[in-house]
Structure 1
């Protein structure tokens, strides 16, 4: 009984992850916009002295940052410069991530529901749903962090100049090379952020879906069918996107930062990344990629729960 919840959640998560991967890639690219240029935003006065007058004639300022693109413009740029397949860069990492992370969180949440559901009312209190989501999401994220690091890097690789690209062949190549070049511990870089984000996403996503679905059925607004599943899952996706976007931006930047021997790290952890991002780009930077996040989280959550409900029907007799 308990194992079935892991299988159902795993299948639904892989289907949802693969079908919305291009939206996730665009979200990552948007979250990284403006990052490289911000490190040179401090004024660097360089006085040019004339040999005859020895007087300062000019001050050279750093070039202005490139314009930030919206999701549609960015998608066209990716396709134009990297080709259509680039929208699926890192999809192998998405499959592994969903297999590890989402299978674990969905399965654990289902176990908690079985144990914490009131036998008389057949429902679970909202606070218990949130607690179940927090615990399940945290454990799932800790297990899936290596795939998350690989996925972020593979999705972001195309934005770099050819000479600086990592050119990972697959998620396994990425994990192997990261371990050899930066140490196995680097596969858990940003894990605290991944865990925090996963706890927020899982608690808001799964608890919201169950709560809204129960409310619709209790008030007889709709029957327990596709319409109810779509409405509840879309609302859950929006709530999850709003709650998790700031953590997601910092997570993306910490995971993607380039580690070079002998050079200082761009960020000394999550708090440092948060402070530098807000100081240099403003608080709104924490909601970079929000439109594609919602655009991705909404369809992802809809596909996730609609698929989950259908898989449950298929496996009902097992």
Structure 2
């Protein structure tokens, strides 16, 4: 029952945070996927693009609501697995390691033993990667739907043609989360449609979650401070920035593949634009990830406390 409570605490916490900050995710996706030769947005900065979208479409319609239903649904499921199962997997790995070692001295005092500290951090990274990978595999279809809906978002005229956004001049193809899912499945199938880019998605989620939760967990432990909102906020912000920096290249490739591109297209874009393309949209992504963690982890910690579960 402890696992159920942990997952129940994690899902809503992730959903609330991702919902509030969906604008950053929308901006990041649009920046990653716009044509560099004929960009849809004239601004040269992430903030400028956000301002242009707000001027043309409004904040709610242009940035806050695109892909929101898919994002919230995915967050509840994905968050429940990636954060909710983390402590259980971490403790199980620690138990197995202790049983496999003849001496438990290293585990008792990891702070005074560099090798033991490294082992602890590796276990935390592995735990995050396992839970992140499981959650990502289960929710990959919703991730594809969210990306498509965010990329397509824009104002539509009475003829059903986009007049703003990346698909300016083209007809609307997606209307809701469910219809988008059905449409992709019918037109593109399972492997090449709703599970397009699943390998990259799972790799990205594993790295993100491993870096994010391991750094959050480790920063809390080495701080020596008691559990509380200030500790949760500072460690959450730092872990969000660390994690997004690690996964940004995979994040960009994932978004590109979810829009229908294959590895050949991705490599062509990379050769044309150089390695800097992999960090396109980094600032809104980093801001979004840091802010998501600042909201997400303290909420999850409070939900865990309310449900009678120990802090992460």
2:205 corresponding residue in structure 1: 198
Name the larger-Rg structure: 1
- Unpaired runs of 5+ in structure 1? 38-62, 258-266
Secondary structure class of the residue paired with 1:107: coil
1:245 corresponding residue in structure 2: 248
Change (3 A) 1:181 1:163: farther
Q: Does residue 188 of structure 2 align to residue 182 of structure 1?
A: yes
Q: Distance in 1 between matches of 2:239 and 2:43?
A: 29
1:278 corresponding residue in structure 2: 270
1:104 corresponding residue in structure 2: 81
1:52 corresponding residue in structure 2: none
Q: Distance in 1 between matches of 2:43 and 2:69?
A: 28
Q: Is the 8 A contact 2:43 2:52 kept in 1?
A: no
1:203-214 matches, within 5 Å, as: 203-214=210-221
Alpha-carbon distance, 1:184 to partner: 2.8
Q: Distance in 2 between matches of 1:233 and 1:90?
A: 25
2:262 corresponding residue in structure 1: 268
Secondary structure class of the residue paired with 1:164: coil
Per-residue CA deviations over 1:16-39 (Å, capped at 9, x if unaligned) read 11011111111111111335x3xx
Q: Does residue 4 of structure 2 align to residue 3 of structure 1?
A: yes
Alpha-carbon distance, 1:167 to partner: 4.4
Q: Does residue 55 of structure 2 align to residue 83 of structure 1?
A: no
Alpha-carbon distance, 1:304 to partner: 1.1
Q: Is the 8 A contact 1:250 1:273 kept in 2?
A: no
Give 1:138's match in structure 2, choosing from 126, 133, 136: 133
2:177 corresponding residue in structure 1: 171
Q: What is the TM-score with the length of structure 1 in the denominator?
A: 0.81
1:125 corresponding residue in structure 2: 120
Alpha-carbon distance, 1:166 to partner: 3.7
Alpha-carbon distance, 1:100 to partner: 2.4
Q: Distance in 2 between matches of 1:247 and 1:226?
A: 31
Per-residue CA deviations over 1:128-181 (Å, capped at 9, x if unaligned) read 111111111111111110000000010010323455244422211110111112
- Unpaired runs of 5+ in structure 2? 99-106, 111-118, 155-164
Q: Is the 8 A contact 2:270 2:277 kept in 1?
A: yes
Which piece of structure 1 moves more, 149-158 or 115-124? 115-124
Q: Is the 8 A contact 2:70 2:142 kept in 1?
A: yes
Secondary structure class of the residue paired with 1:224: coil
Q: What is the TM-score with the length of structure 2 in the denominator?
A: 0.82
Alpha-carbon distance, 1:116 to partner: 3.1
Q: Is the 8 A contact 1:246 1:287 kept in 2?
A: yes
Change (3 A) 1:187 1:197: same
Q: Distance in 2 between matches of 1:138 and 1:238?
A: 20
How many pairs align?
277
Q: Is the 8 A contact 2:6 2:309 kept in 1?
A: no
1:151-162 matches, within 5 Å, as: 151-157=146-152, 158=154, 159-162=165-168
